[in-house]
Copies of this chain bind each other. A is one copy, B any other.
Amino acid sequence: MKTGILYGISVGTGDPELITVKGLRLLQQSPVIAFPAGVNGKLGMAQQIIAPWLQPEQEQLPLTFPYVRDMSVLTQAWIAAAEAVWQYLQNGKDVAFACEGDISFYSTFTYLAQTLQALHPELKVELVPGVTSPMAAASVLGCPLTIRQEKLAILPAIYTIAELATVLDWADVVVLMKVSSVYPKVWKLLQQRGLLPNSSIVVRATLPDMITYKNLSDRQNLELPYFSILIVQITNRNN
A binding-site residues for B, Cβ under 8 Å: 8, 10, 12-13, 15-22, 24-25, 102-107, 110, 125, 127-132, 135-136, 138-140, 142-159, 163, 166-167, 170-171, 206
10 inter-chain pairs at a CB distance below 8 angstroms, sorted by A residue, are A10-B139, A16-B21, A20-B20, A21-B24, A102-B131, A106-B147, A129-B135, A130-B131, A149-B158, A151-B153
Say whether B135 contacts A10, CB under 8 Å.
yes
CA distance A154 to B104 in the complex (A): 15
The quantity of this chain's copies bound in the complex is 2
CA distance A107 to B147 in the complex (A): 7
Bound complex: CA of A125 vs CA of B170, how far in Å?
A: 32
Q: Which residue of B lies closest to A103 (CB)?
A: B139
- Are A131 and B170 in touch, CB under 8 angstroms? no
A129-B138, A129-B206, A153-B170 known; 15 new pairs, CB 8 Å cut-off, are A10-B131, A12-B20, A18-B128, A104-B135, A104-B139, A104-B145, A105-B146, A127-B138, A127-B140, A129-B135, A129-B136, A130-B135, A146-B156, A149-B156, A152-B155
Closest B residue to A175 by beta carbon equals: B152
Q: Using known A-B contacts A159-B151, A166-B170, determine if residue A104 contacts B138 with beta carbons closer than 8 Å.
A: yes
